Amino acid sequence: MIVSVGIDVVLVERFAAAVARTPHLAERLFTAAERVNQEGHPRPADSLAARFAAKEAVAKALGAPHGLKWHDCEIVPDDAGRPWLDVKGTVAEAAAKAGIARWHLSLSHDGGIASAMVVAEGA
């Protein structure tokens, strides 16, 4: 059963400018693993922007409760390289309260726009 859906879009150029002008913003938003690709190279701005959109989409699917921590929602690759959500701490607590047992995630970036959609599924 679908509990909720969240979607977000991010202008890549605006996101990249914010990261460039704000010291440590990337570290506040993303875990060390999220900031690098599977080869260990820094992720490009469009990829990070899509991950930021995913975190925003998760918050929207949860009803945007106060107190969520950025690092408690991590976008991680599965064995085939597909992105998945790993939630813990504040995000896991909010998901449990909402009856969410499983997340589905889609990321995209093209034409200067990054987007993400999440579907929250109940037990």
Structural domains in the chain plus CATH codes: 2-122 (3.90.470.20)
pTM for the model stands at 0.95
Summarize pLDDT for 49-97 with one digit per residue, the tens.
999 999 999 999 999 999 999 999 999 998 888 999 999 999 999 999 9
Q: Which residues pair with 77 in a beta bridge?
A: 83
At 81 the pLDDT is 85
Phi-psi region of 51 (alpha: psi -120 to 50; beta: other; left: phi over 0): alpha
Summarize pLDDT for 23-46 with one digit per residue, the tens.
899 999 999 999 998 889 999 999
Q: Mean pLDDT throughout 12-28?
A: 96
- Report the alpha-carbon distance of residue 120 to residue 86 in Å, rounded: 13
For tokens 């990321």, the residue is 107
Q: What is the DSSP string of 58-107?
A: HHHHTT--TT--GGGEEEEE-TTS-EEEEE-HHHHHHHHHTTEEEEEEEE
